[in-house]
Amino acid sequence: MPTAAPSRDGPEPAAIHARQRWMSVLAKAPAEAVERAWRDLRPPPGYDLLRPAETGLAMIQARMGGSGRPFHLGEMTMTRCAVRLADGTTGFSHIAGRDRRKAELAAAFDALLQRPADQARLLADVIAPMERALLARKQATADKVAATKVEFFTLARGD
């Protein structure tokens, strides 16, 4: 049975990597996109709340000079949630901001994505489109920013 905490030998690095990817995408995707993806599940599965969505703060650490010892920069709001599906699979979410509904759905998706029977379909139908949208937004910004890159022309000076 899948469990939340890593077992003594720990899950496979590849499995962790895959989970980090979908958790990151769910955290960054707009709330409406997560809500829409949830409504598109037919029927949306039931789940129990292990730890109802809770909003609090994360203290952000930075490094002196960018790479030195850590210091505390300031806090940010975050929301976390833990759910359990009927088969016992647990799902977690930790997302920036104060959207409790989004945190709950992200935790439910995290649980569903761990089930081998659902994983491939959900990665293709839910995670990949969200990831593409996030990348497209980043790319649009990068294109505009690139237009402000300076090309220097060195002028020859007389001696």
Single out the segment in contact with other proteins by CB under 8 A; choices: 32-40, 111-119, 120-128, 133-141.
133-141
Q: Is 38 in the site for other proteins (CB under 8 A)?
A: no
Query: How far, in Å, are 27, 87, 89, 97 from residue 46 at the CA level?
Result: 21, 10, 12, 25
Q: Is 115 in the site for other proteins (CB under 8 A)?
A: no
Single out the segment in contact with other proteins by CB under 8 A; choices: 24-32, 36-44, 115-123, 124-132.
24-32
Q: Is 105 in the site for other proteins (CB under 8 A)?
A: no
The rounded distance, in Å, linking the Cα atoms of 147 and 103 is 37
Size of the residue set binding other proteins (CB under 8 A): 68
**Which of 150, 153, 155, 157 touches other proteins (CB under 8 A)?**
150
Q: Is 86 in the site for other proteins (CB under 8 A)?
A: no
Is residue 51 within a helix (H) or strand (E), and if so which, with residue range?
strand 47-63
Q: Is 149 in the site for other proteins (CB under 8 A)?
A: yes
Query: How far, in Å, are 36, 69, 77, 85, 149 from residue 44 at the CA level?
Result: 11, 46, 28, 11, 47
The rounded distance, in Å, linking the Cα atoms of 128 and 156 is 52
**Which of 67, 117, 156, 158 touches other proteins (CB under 8 A)?**
67
- For residue 77 the two structure tokens come to 């709001």
In whole angstroms, what separates CA 116 from the centre of its chain? 20
Q: By CB under 8 A, name the binding residues for other proteins.
A: 1, 3-6, 10, 16, 20, 23-24, 27-28, 46-52, 54-78, 80, 82, 84, 88, 90, 92, 94-98, 138-139, 141-150, 152
